[in-house]
Amino acid sequence: MAHIQINNLHKQFGDVKVIRDVNLTIDDNEFVVFVGPSGCGKSTLLRLISGLEDLSSGHIKIDGERIDHLPPSKRGIAMVFQSYALYPHMSVYQNMSYALRVAKESKASIDKKVKQAAEVLQLTELLDRKPKALSGGQRQRVAIGRAIVRDPKLFLFDEPLSNLDAKLRVQMRIELTKLHKKLNATMIYVTHDQVEAMTMADKIVVIRDGIIEQVGAPLELYNHPANQFVAGFIGSPSMNFIDVKVIGKSDASLELELKNKTNIHIPCAEVDLHAIGDKMQIGIRPEKLILDEACDAMQDGEVFAVERLGNETYIYMHTATNNEIVLHAAGDKPVTEGDHISVGFKVADCHLFASNGEVVK
């Protein structure tokens, strides 16, 4: 249980600024997910919090106390690594007890803690095995067990599921969420997989190029992305973007022209910030596109790929004005490659982004 506060955090390797002015607050018992493309700095941020990396400037506080001057093991933090980093020459029991042995805890207390954690993770039968003799999922649980026995205030997870196969990944996702509830602990979880972020997080932190792009609950990010990057990153398949141009303004709305000469009106709070002739993009989620039905605006085009999953269908099309659009429909739609179709959307479902990527609506 811990409340984390990060102020003005910077990190650079030589001349390369990897983390730039990060400010973040994490509440007690929150499950926070850092998500972003690879190389965005999310793992570095995690390593800065863990103390494995020295920060260049800024503060990190846990429960109001500065910890950035403490070595990793004194911060009350435990970490689960991507490769699990189990010590290959030690048994499961020795792996889980190593930190406690280093800290010179009594044998009895070590034994109690390890047995307890093993119980929670159903590892009791495996305590004498070496990591080599465990399945991927079991290794994963040992790695978590090793973190639990230390009774940390904060758990860090560095892409812990990326080495598992798809089915196990889904299973572990649910188990981790359950574990979070059971342990009542604060957890930070790093992943590049936005599905993991959406399904597990209380709060998602989207990071790009060492900067936090947006912080919020999963659906908040999904429904109200702060910019085009977040809009495109969250959600699968990605949001569709269509080029538009501002052709008129009124008190509280912009009049936009699509490339196919359709005009739409989108409400806008600060009309004055935009000028006639500005280039913008509207964004529509694939599931908000409607097939063959009259709507606020239409896009015509040719289907170039169809993915049928039985319960849902993804239709990929080139529009007449050269945008690529993907449409998500429930059930099996009778559309095939090469078909000419027309899709429509409601203005209410549109997001609008200025040319610098910032959200307008």
Partner 1 sequence: MSLASDHDIDLIYQKSLRKRKNMRRLWLAFLLLPPILMLLIFVFLPMASAVLYSVYDWKGLVRGEFIGLGNYYDVLFKPRESWFLFNAFKNNVVVFISLMIVQNGLALVLALLLARKPAGYRFYQVVIFLPVILSTVIIGFQWKLFLNPIFGLVNKFLRMVDLDMWALPWLGLPETALGSMILVNTWHWVGFPTLVFLAAIHRIPKDLIEAARLDGANEWRIARDIIWPLMAPAVTIIVVLTFIGSFNWFEIPFIMGSLEGSPAYSTDTLGLLFYRTAFGSVSAGGSNFGAGSALAVLIFIFIFTFSIIVTKYLTSREIEMG
Partner 2 sequence: MQTKKKANFNTWLMQIFLGCNAVIMLYPIFMMAISGFKTNSEIFGKPFSLPSSLNFDNFLVIWNTTDVPRYLLNSTIVTGLSVVLLLTMGTMAAYALARYKFRGNIMIYLFFLSGLMLPLRLAIIPLFIQLKYLGLIDSLLGLICIYTAMSLPATVFILTGFLKTLPSELEDSARMDGASEARIMVQIMLPLISPALVIAGIYTAVPIWNDFFFPLIFIQSPEWKTLAQGLTSFFGEYSINYGVLYAGLTLAALPVVTIFIIQSNRFIAGMTAGAIK
Of 284, 276, 268, 283, nearest to 245 by C-alpha is: 276
Stretch that binds partner 2, among 75-83, 124-132, 226-234, 248-256 (CB under 8 A): 75-83
Q: What are the two backbone dihedrals, phi and then psi, of residue 120, each rounded to the nearest 5 degrees?
A: -55, -40
59 versus 259: smaller Cβ distance to partner 1: 59
DSSP H helical segments within 105-227, as ranges? 107-120, 136-148, 166-183, 194-200, 218-223
Contact 142, 131 (CB under 8 A): yes
Contact yes or no for 359/225 (Cβ under 8 A): yes
| Bridge partners, residue 342, by sequence | 300
Q: Choose among partner 2, partner 1, none what residue 81 binds, the Cβ cut-off being 5 to 8 Å by kind.
A: partner 2
Taking the least distance from each CB to partner 1, the nearer of 59 and 249 is 59
CB of 11 to partner 1, least distance (A): 14
HEC string of 297-315?
EEEEEEEEEEEECCCEEEE
* Among the listed residues 28, 66, 135, 318, the single contact to partner 1 using CB under 8 A: 66
Stretch 52-71 residues interacting with partner 2 (CB under 8 A): 52, 71
For residue 176, what is the DSSP state? Answer: H
- The whole-angstrom separation of Cα 191 and Cα 171 is 16
Q: What is each CA distance from 62 to 43, 101, 293, in whole angstroms?
A: 19, 25, 54
Site for partner 2 contains 2 (CB under 8 A): no
Among 102, 166, 275, 330, binds partner 2 (CB under 8 A): 102
Residues 225-284 that bind partner 1 (CB under 8 A): none
Residue type, 47: R
Beta carbons of 111 and 158 less than 8 angstroms apart: no
Among 2, 18, 35, 78, binds partner 2 (CB under 8 A): 78
Tell me which of partner 1, partner 2, none is bound by residue 288, counting a contact when its beta carbon lies within the kind-specific cut-off of 5 to 8 angstroms: none
Is 324 near partner 1 (CB under 8 A)? no
State the Cα–Cα distance between residues 9 and 19, nearest whole angstrom.
Answer: 7
Answer with the entry of partner 2, partner 1, none that 59 interacts with (C-beta below 5 to 8 A by kind).
Answer: partner 1
- What's the closest the beta carbon of residue 42 comes to partner 1, in angstroms? 24
Options 63-71, 217-225, 271-279, 330-338: segment touching partner 1 (CB under 8 A): 63-71
Contact residues for partner 1 (CB under 8 A)? 54, 59, 61, 64, 66, 68-71
Which residues make up the interface to partner 2 (CB under 8 A)? 47, 50, 52, 71-74, 77-79, 81-83, 85, 87-89, 98-99, 102-103, 146, 150
